[in-house]
Amino acid sequence: MISFLSGSGGVGKSGIALNLGGIYARQGKKVLLIDLNMGLRTLDLLMGDEVLATTNIMDVLSGKIKLLEAAIPHQDCEDLQLLSASWTKDASCIEDEAFKELIKEAREHYDYIFLDLPVGSMTLLKMAINASDFSLIVSTITQTGIRNADKIYSIFREHRIQEVGIIFNMVRQDLIKRGVYPSLEEVSERFPINVWGIIPFEDTLNIAMEQGTLIRADSKKMSARALKNISRRLEGEEIPFINLNKNSLLFLKW
């Protein structure tokens, strides 16, 4: 089970979780996305399943409905399923023991469980981190992005949790060349977390999410290739990073 976190909104965390789940589901694995953005759910929209999202996580936690009845499949891939967040309840309504029981049941039925966590809810964040096998912080390489990501990472440092990595999203090579952003090598050396992915700024992810579709399995876009490489690293493969400047390989720590 993997938690997806960010220190601020708008960094593409939900889209990355969704499309990584889609990569695994297309390989025949059963994947459950749990949207924990209580009151501000988004994954049902990104999946194009907002009409079908008539039940949510609170219905399962309260015992009103079973998990497998509440989970809705992606329109293009039935093995990718979503347990939606609640529109009306906030994160304080999720009790620790009930959440643990939900995760226990989910592990019995799914190969991968992805938790899409909200920004700002420290109680829910700690609950999810403790239940997860691994966590991924999604950030941009802007000054504010790095600072906010480091704030999230401080929770892992405080509790001495080492099962965490970072994905840098929406990386613009043109702004790196102009010196607006630091180079990826500089960020990698400066940031105290292993880098698990570098995703360039492209329209591919945004278009797919707006249309409620997944990135095409045969896409040659660099962002699609970067996501596929992340999925392979998570399964234990040693995959070098794509050099966004030369479209070749870049070796960073991970």
- In tens digits, what is the pLDDT along the chain, a chain of 254 residues? 999 999 888 899 999 999 999 999 999 999 999 999 887 778 888 887 665 678 899 999 999 999 999 999 998 899 999 999 988 888 888 999 999 999 999 999 999 999 999 887 788 888 898 899 999 999 999 888 888 988 898 888 888 888 999 999 999 888 888 888 888 778 877 777 888 999 998 887 777 777 767 887 678 888 899 999 999 999 999 988 877 665 433 444 44
pLDDT of res. 123: 82
Domain count, the chain: 1
Show the domain range for 129.
2-250
CB 118 within 8 A of CB 91: yes
Cα R_g (the chain), whole angstroms: 18
pLDDT of res. 250: 43
Structure tokens at 84: 């939606």
| pTM of the predicted model as reported, rounded to 2 decimal places | 0.89
- Triad 40, 20, 233: Cα angle to 5°: 135
**Beta-strand runs (E) in the chain:** 2-5, 31-35, 72-74, 77-83, 112-116, 134-139, 164-171, 195-200, 241-243, 248-250
Digit-coded pLDDT (tens) for 5-23: 998 888 999 999 999 999 9
The CATH number covering residue 195 comes to 3.40.50.300
